[in-house]
Amino acid sequence: MPRLTRSLCALTLMFALGVAAGQFARVDLAAQPAAGRKVYELRTYYTHPGKLPDLQTRFRDHTTRILEKHGMTNVGYWVPQDEPAHGNTLIYVLAHDSRDAAKKSWDAFRTDAEWVKVRTASEANGPIVTKVDSVFMDPTDYSKLK
């Protein structure tokens, strides 16, 4: 992975977690058992040229709601400011109750009849996404996230 892309991913992750931390401020992690902590998933979607608006429309109009329907919590969505990533990259963070819960949620999402219909319709003029990266993360003991 080129150095610029790694740097962009690292900065995006720090930004995403900072924004998420602001949403969950004043959480006392010391008072919570580790088992009660959420698992966060950082997902990065890379699109075919000119297809990012199609992906954003799909997320805005359908995907975020369908993710929630299957137990996933939408934390935030971002597009990098700088090219070339600005024109073809969507980055987002989801929260899950556990890694097992994430697997069950994703399995249910992928077979959801509404999702299949939405994906098929949105790709009528060809595929949108070229690649998806997914990283599961645990908050540190000094994080404001729970």
pLDDT in tens, the chain (146 residues): 555 455 455 545 555 555 444 444 433 333 333 567 899 999 999 999 999 999 999 999 999 999 999 999 999 999 999 999 999 999 999 999 999 999 999 999 999 999 999 999 999 999 999 999 999 999 998 988 76
The radius of gyration of the chain from alpha carbons, rounded to an integer in Å, stands at 16
Structural domain contains residue 81: yes
Please count the other Cβ atoms lying within 10 Å of the Cβ belonging to residue 45: 21
- What pLDDT shows up at residue 145? 77
- What pLDDT shows up at residue 37? 81
Q: Is-contact 41 105, C-beta < 8 A?
A: no
Structural domain contains residue 145: no
Looking at residue 12, which CATH number applies to its domain? 3.30.70.100
Range list of β-strands (E), 1-146: 39-47, 73-78, 89-96, 129-137
- What pLDDT shows up at residue 35? 62
Using DSSP, state whether 137 is helix, strand or coil.
Answer: strand
Domain count, the chain: 1
Residues pairing with 137 in the sheet: 40
Structural domain contains residue 144: no
- What pLDDT shows up at residue 133? 98
Q: Is-contact 108 65, C-beta < 8 A?
A: no
- What pLDDT shows up at residue 141? 87
Structural domain contains residue 38: yes
- What pLDDT shows up at residue 102? 97
Give residue 53's domain range.
3-137
Structural domain contains residue 142: no
